[in-house]
Amino acid sequence: MNGPPKSPETGQGPRVEEIPEGDDRLRLVCPDCGFIHYDNPKMVVGAVVRYGDRILLCRRAIAPRKGYWTLPAGYLELNEAPHEGAAREAWEEAYAKINIDSLLAVYSIPRLSQVQLIYRATLLDEDVKPGLESLAVGLFRWEEIPWPDIAFPTVHWALHHDRELGQTQVFEPRTNPPGSSDRP
Amino acid sequence: MNGPPKSPETGQGPRVEEIPEGDDRLRLVCPDCGFIHYDNPKMVVGAVVRYGDRILLCRRAIAPRKGYWTLPAGYLELNEAPHEGAAREAWEEAYAKINIDSLLAVYSIPRLSQVQLIYRATLLDEDVKPGLESLAVGLFRWEEIPWPDIAFPTVHWALHHDRELGQTQVFEPRTNPPGSSDRP
DSSP letter for each residue of A80-102:
--HHHHHHHHHHHHH---EEEEE
Residue B36: the pLDDT is: 83
- DSSP, res B63: S
Region B57-78: mean pLDDT is: 97
The answer to whether residue B147 neighbours chain A at the CB level (below 8 Å) is no
Contact A78, B112 (CB under 8 A): no
Distance CA B147, CA B130 (A): 20
Which residues of chain A neighbour B7 with C-beta distances below 8 Å? 35
Q: For B80-95, how does the pLDDT look when each residue is reduced to its tens digit (9 = 90+)?
A: 999 999 999 999 999 9
Contact B26, B20 (CB under 8 A): no
Interface confidence, given as ipTM, is 0.85
Q: Strand runs (DSSP E) across B38-113, as ranges?
A: 42-51, 54-60, 69-70, 73-75, 98-109
Which residues of chain A neighbour B12 with C-beta distances below 8 Å? 33-35
Q: For A59-98, how does the pLDDT look when each residue is reduced to its tens digit (9 = 90+)?
A: 999 999 999 999 999 999 999 999 999 999 999 999 999 9
Taking 70 as the threshold, does the pLDDT of residue A109 lie above it? yes
The answer to whether residue B132 neighbours chain A at the CB level (below 8 Å) is no
Q: Measured between alpha carbons, how far apart are the two ends of chain B, in Å?
A: 25
* Higher-confidence position of B157 and B4: B157
Q: Give the count of alpha carbons within 13 A of A174, CB side only.
A: 21
B154 phi, psi to nearest 5 deg: -65, -25
Smallest Cα–Cα separation from B50: which of B98, B89, B9, B83? B98
A16-18 and A69-70: which strand pairing?
unpaired
The answer to whether residue A19 neighbours chain B at the CB level (below 8 Å) is no
Size of interface A-B (CB pairs under 8 A): 146
Smallest Cα–Cα separation from A54: which of A152, A138, A151, A148? A138
Q: Residues B47, B53, B178, B119: what is their CA dihedral angle, to the nearest 10 degrees?
A: 20
Contact A110 B80 (CB under 8 A): yes
